[in-house]
Amino acid sequence: MTTDNSVHVSVLGLGAMGSALAGALLKAGHATTCWNRTPGKADGLVAQGARAADTARDAVRAGPLVIVCLLDHASVHEVLDPLSGELAGRTLVNVTTTSPSQSRELAEWAARAGVAYLDGGIMAVPQMIGRAGASVLYSGSADVFEQYRPLLDLWGDSSYFGEDAGLASLYDLALLAGMYVMFAGFMHGAAMVAPAGVTAGEFAARAAPWLTAMTGAFEEFAAVIDGGDYTVEGQQSLHFSDLGHLLAASSGQGISTEVVSMVQRLVQRQIDAGHGEEGFARIIESIKQPG
C-alpha cells in the first residue's frame, strides 16, 4: 500500500474537475505532471508546484499513475488511443463520467494494452474535492484501489464496488437519477407557489428541511422492497397516494403537470394491476417493468 507522498501522478484534463483533483494531489505533496488540450490551463497548478507537459504522451511518460478527467468517453479514447504503448505497464484511473458499458469497454481496452485500470465516479462538484462530503466511487482493479487508496482518499471518501469496471458508473448514474428527479420536484413546487407571490428562495427554505426529513423514508421503503412484500401494514397505500389533487392544484396555478404526472402514472399502473391496497414502495415495480 502507498503510504507516503512519493507517487508521481500524471493528470490528463484540466477542466474544473481535473484542476481540482490535481490541486488536491499537489497540496498533499505529490509530484504532479499535468496536461490539457488547450494550453494555459495548467498555469495555476504550475504556480502550486506542478509540471506542465506539452503533450499527453509526455505527461503519461512522467510517472506510473495516470489520472484521466476529460469531458466524456469519446474524448478519453481520442486522447488515450494513440498512447496505448506508453500506458502499457502503468496504472490508469479514469474519473471521467461514462456509462457502465463505456467503463467496461475502456477496462477491456486497458487490459488489451497491458494497463491496470480503475474506473471512478465522482460524487462531488470541484469545490468539494478534498473536503467533507465529497465521495468517489470506484470499480475495476482491486489491486489498484488498494495500492493507491491513500492517494484516492485525498479527493474524498473512497468506496470500491468490485472488479466489474461498470459498477462505479452504475452507482454514480443511479444516484444522479435520484438527484435530478428530486431537483425537478423542487422546481415543480417552486413553480406552483410562484403565482402566489412566493419567491423560490422562500420556497427553498421550506423545501430543504422537508425533503431532508423525507429521506428518512428511504430505509423503510428499502426494507419493504428487499422483503418483497408490499402489503406490509402501516404503509400509505397506493389508493391514498393518488396524486390527482396535486395535478389539479398544479393546473390551477397554470403550470405544467409533467413532473407530477410522471409519478402519478407509476402509481396508476400498479392500481390498475390490482395493487391499490399495497404500499407506495410498489411503484418500483412500474419502474422495473417499462410500460
Q: What x/- string results for residues 138 through 177 when contact with ligand FVH is judged by CB under 6 A?
A: ----------------------------------------
> By C-beta, is 75 or 253 nearer to ligand FVH?
75
In the set 2, 57, 61, 78, which binds ligand FVH (CB under 6 A)?
78
When the beta carbons of 134 and 190 are compared against ligand FVH, the nearer one is 134
Q: Which one of residues 122, 144, 167, 190 is an interface residue with ligand FVH (CB under 6 A)?
A: 122
Binding of ligand FVH by 14 (CB under 6 A):
yes
Of 91, 147, 93, nearest to 115 by C-alpha is 91
Residues 231-260 that bind ligand FVH (CB under 6 A): none
Question: Which residue, 9 or 267, is less far from ligand FVH as judged by CB?
Answer: 9
Check residue 60 for interaction with ligand FVH (CB under 6 A): no
Of 22, 26, 65, 69, the residue at the interface with ligand FVH (CB under 6 A) is: 69
Q: From residue 180, how far is each of 149, 175, 183, 282 by CA, in Å?
A: 30, 9, 5, 21
Residue range at the interface with ligand FVH (CB under 6 A); choices 47-55, 64-72, 210-218, 265-273: 64-72
- Assess 130 for contact with ligand FVH (CB under 6 A): no
C-alpha cell at position 250: 398544479
Q: Report how far residue 263's alpha carbon sits from residue 272's, in angstroms, rounded to the nearest whole number.
A: 14
The residues that touch ligand FVH, with contacts defined as CB under 6 A, are 13-18, 36-38, 41, 69-72, 75, 78-79, 96-97, 122, 125-126
